[in-house]
Amino acid sequence: KDLITDLKENLSHHFKEVMVGLMYPPASYDAHELWHALKGVNTEEKCLIDILASRSNMEIFQMKEAYLMEYNNDLQQDIDSETSGHFRDTLMNLAQGTRMEGYADPSTAAQDAMILWEACQQKTGEHKNMLQMILCNRSHQQLWMVFQEFQNISGQDIVDAINECYDGYFQELLVAIVLCIRDKPSYFAYRLYNAIHDFGFHNKTVIRILIARSEIDLMNIRQRYKERYGKSLFHDIKHFASGHYESSLLAICAGDTEDY
């Protein structure tokens, strides 16, 4: 018998989603979530943003392999056909998994920062392309310097500038890239808090983040959540979920003594 098939047949609702999700290896789970985000009734842009803005080159390579193997489709082709505009172009760039790694050049940081600043002022198609090319391809170390130079040039934080100058899913994706580069656990803590509080417990987002980060940085996410919002993630899940579904989320999340 196949365990995943049995789980799908014998469980229901969100509890089933959690139990089935836990059966997938990380790359296959990402592929599964991307497939449903792209091929469901409506495209789930926030799922695409969460996954593609936060994964390493190796994780992206592995998820593309899993996507092709499990769905016999090319991830980049599906992104191309199911999304549009500069949002699509940025997702396509991230899905290439070609970000430079471990390389930083202080001499070009100010130049990149000036390009970003001009992109926030001019907002032409060419400037948007340059903006996303820098954010998607420069190394994390390089972008840390670029963001500091941007602050020096403009007197403004890069996130504030993007929020002022752009809108829609393109803006959300750019901000997610910046936040993940700065502190990935803080980004996911922020996404969990919004999913729990702002959307009346957006179950898909909570489930996806807890499962995807459970063996990577969930302990750090819990720490950032409590520091930033005053209540523990464990406490908030316990307050908003119920039944076996609640028990399964709490088991993934775990908790300290004071969280109970």
DSSP string, 228-260: HHSS-HHHHHHHH--HHHHHHHHHHH---GGG-
End-to-end CA distance of the chain: 38
Rounded to whole angstroms, the Cα distance separating 58 from 98 reads 10
What per-residue confidence (pLDDT) applies to 256? 58
For 46-91, write each residue's pLDDT tens digit.
Answer: 999 999 999 999 999 999 999 999 999 999 999 999 999 999 999 9
What per-residue confidence (pLDDT) applies to 258? 59
Angle between helices 168-197 and 203-213 (to 10 degrees): 90
Rounded to whole angstroms, the Cα distance separating 47 from 54 reads 11
Please list the residue range(s) of the chain that carry CATH number 1.10.220.10: 1-98, 106-182, 183-241
pTM, to two decimals: 0.93
- How far is the CA of 98 from the CAs of 60, 63, 200, 238, in angstroms? 9, 14, 37, 40
| Amino acid type, 186 | S
Highest mean pLDDT among 4-13, 98-107, 124-133, 210-219: 210-219
Q: Please give the CATH topology (third level) of the domain spanning 1-98.
A: Annexin V; domain 1 (1.10.220)
Q: What is the mean pLDDT of residues 124-133?
A: 87
Q: Cα 64 to the chain's mean position, in Å?
A: 16
For 163-219, write each residue's pLDDT tens digit.
Answer: 999 999 999 999 999 999 999 999 999 999 999 998 778 899 999 999 999 989 999
Q: Which CATH homologous superfamily contains domain 106-182? A: Annexin (1.10.220.10)
Indicate the pLDDT class of residue 255, thresholds 50, 70 and 90: low
Rounded to whole angstroms, the Cα distance separating 77 from 80 reads 5
What per-residue confidence (pLDDT) applies to 198? 83
Mean pLDDT of the chain: 92
Q: Please give the CATH topology (third level) of the domain spanning 183-241.
A: Annexin V; domain 1 (1.10.220)
What per-residue confidence (pLDDT) applies to 257? 52
